[in-house]
Amino acid sequence: MQNAEQEAFAGFLNSLCAEYQKHNQIDPAYYERYNVKRGLRNADGTGVMAGVTQIGNVMGYYVQDGERIPAPGKLVYRGIDVEELVNGFVSENRFGFEETAYLLLFGVLPTREQLTTFQKILSENHDLPHMFTEDMIIKAPSPDVMNKLARSVLALYSYDDNPEDMSLSNQLRQAIQLIARVPVIVAHAFAVKRHYYDNESLYLHRPQPGLSVAENFLYSVRHDNQFTEEEARLLDLCLVLHAEHGGGNNSAFACRVLSSSGTDIYSSIAAAVGALKGPRHGGANKKVMEMFGYIEEAVKDWKDDDEVKDFLGKLLRKEAGDRSGLIYGMGHAIYTLSDPRAVILKRFAKKLAAAKGMEDEFELFETVERLTPEVLLSVKGETKVVCGNVDLFSGMVYKMMGIPQELYTPLFAVARIVGWCAHRIEEVYQPGNRIIRPAYKAVAPMRTFVPLDQR
């Protein structure tokens, strides 16, 4: 468009915005009047029961006499407490993500032979289709890796010789290929983003046979391919903790909604990627680090509780930070006393902070976690029990590992692709599968059509 056309278009958009706001106001009272479950949540904050699953469970409270009672958080994968799962492979000095993927997909822990075979199959499916990176990533670079990932997942449909076959064997074949390929897509999309938007040299690395998903990811996103054993183990832990979080989380539910319609796996997973990108979901870890940038700059003495509380109050009053009124990384829809993922990650992050000489910054994160409930009470009068969630510490861990912020949410997707595929297959093959279709109450008054010349 020419400048004059751009100005005219901008003016027209402004008039359209005014027109929309004039005719599209919904009275908030309607939600209470019609008992609308906003966010598919009940009045007490519990989720509306939309299905059953064997894949994952998230527990943060129990109900007694109709009242929610806070409890220590638990995350369960296929009936196994994730803390027990982590302790198992860490104590045996093994990587755990591939084992976790097998568990979530097939519902049982693999034998040594099954795990070895599964790892080999994942390694054999790392390679992207011929010219995929050139045609789908390099020729259309994106400033956001998540958007490029969603587009690339959709594009894989065109490279699949049998994309619409809904048989279990084909769905599992597609799921395994997606789990293997998503880390490579993310690494390539990141490299291309850095080249075209940040004026850096372009380095594209092929995954190496015999390396774990975590090792290959670090190998692929670093120019010199160098990483330490400690970094790979910690990234592997992050992937395990992010792999699944129940069928009701926003991205898994988006995947299940699309899957219930009978559409292909690529469309369902692409929808989940789009949901995860949002700052209220997977994008929160980036917002946490952005928020701490504001805190670290504004608070002169990080060890002064009063100064930290004062700034947290400004965040809540929309006087500082991104003016959202949120303290990112605090609170969760289900967890109350603790987020088990944050508890586990915090334990390992503390050791890394000591090794990296970043104890003061780590302590600031702990201070925000400790003071936020008090500030919420004093500023907003909120008495709800809140805890630090996994996003509070995952960004800190990635920062200590030297992983750029552009990769925080894509790394979440690298892990969660496992949970999405598991929910996709369960949704398609559950008994009595029906398309998911909740109801919306229509509140617009009836009107008659007015001829064009009379408007």
Active site amino acids: 332, 391
Pair 400, 358: CB distance under 8 Å: yes
Q: How far apart are CA 249 and CA 332, in angstroms?
A: 11
Pair 185, 138: CB distance under 8 Å: no
* 79-118 exposure pattern, b = at least 16 Cβ within 10 A, e = fewer: eeebbebbeebbeeeebbbbbbbbbbbeeebbeeeeeeeb
Q: How far apart are CA 296 and CA 73, in angstroms?
A: 29
Q: Edge-to-edge, what's the strand order for the sheet holding 80-81?
A: 56-64, 67-77, 80-81
Burial class (CB within 10 angstroms; exposed 0-12, middle 13-18, buried 19+) of 52: exposed
Q: What is the 3-state secondary structure (H, E, C) of 403-435?
A: CCHHHHHHHHHHHHHHHHHHHHHHHHHCCCCCC
* 357-396 exposure pattern, b = at least 16 Cβ within 10 A, e = fewer: ebeebbebbebbbebbbebbeebeeeeebbbbbbbbbbbb
Q: What is the 3-state secondary structure (H, E, C) of 106-174?
A: HCCCCCHHHHHHHHHHHHHCCCCCCCHHHHHHHCCCCCCHHHHHHHHHHHHHHHCCCCCCCCHHHHHHH
Instruction: Name the amino acid, one letter, at 86.
Output: V
In the block, residue with structure tokens 């309607």: 30
DSSP letter assigned to residue 329: T
Q: Residue 327's Cα: distance from chain center in Å?
A: 18
Return the number of other C-beta atoms located less than 10 Å from residue 294's C-beta. Answer: 15
Instruction: Name the amino acid, one letter, at 333.
Output: A
- Strand, coil or helix: 334: coil
Q: Which long-range contacts (CB under 8 A, 24 or more apart) does 384-387 make?
A: 384/331, 385/70, 385/336, 385/337, 386/330, 386/331, 386/332, 386/336, 387/73, 387/330, 387/331, 387/332, 387/335, 387/336, 387/337, 387/338, 387/339, 387/342
